[in-house]
């Protein structure tokens, strides 16, 4: 369910202003992202943990997650 992924947990807690109940609800919904994670992998973004963090940061928007991933790649070069 995502509870063992420390960075993802921290990101979701921050997004929810440290509201634990809302964060748990959001973490339980992470499984709904499986199709989005598969799409990101098909696009060549293979870091599943990073993809989950960015989907959480962007409220499940694959478009914004891809924009963040591209920006990170440009920054790293």
Label residues 15-50 b or e (16+ Cβ within 10 Å = b).
Answer: bbeeeeeebbebbeebeebeebbeebeeeebeeeeb
Residue 59 covered by a domain: yes
Measured at the CA of 9, the angle between CA 42 and CA 58, to 5 degrees, comes to: 50
Q: What is the pTM of this model?
A: 0.67
Residue 1 covered by a domain: no
pLDDT band at 68 (very low <50, low <70, confident <90, very high): very high
Domain that holds residue 48: 6-76
Residue 10 covered by a domain: yes
**What is the count of structural domains for the chain?**
1
Tell me the per-residue pLDDT of 7-26, one tens digit each, with 9 for 90 and over.
888 988 999 999 988 888 78
Residue 49 covered by a domain: yes
Is residue 71 within 8 A of residue 29, CB to CB? The reply is: no
């Amino acid at each position: 369910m995502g509870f063992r992924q420390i960075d993802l947990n921290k990101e979701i807690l921050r997004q929810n202003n440290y509201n634990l109940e809302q964060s748990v609800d959001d973490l339980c919904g992470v499984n709904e992202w499986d199709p989005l994670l598969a799409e990101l992998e098909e696009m060549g973004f293979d870091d599943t943990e990073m993809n989950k963090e960015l989907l959480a940061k962007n409220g499940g928007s694959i478009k914004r997650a891809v924009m963040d991933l591209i920006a990170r790649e440009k920054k790293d070069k």
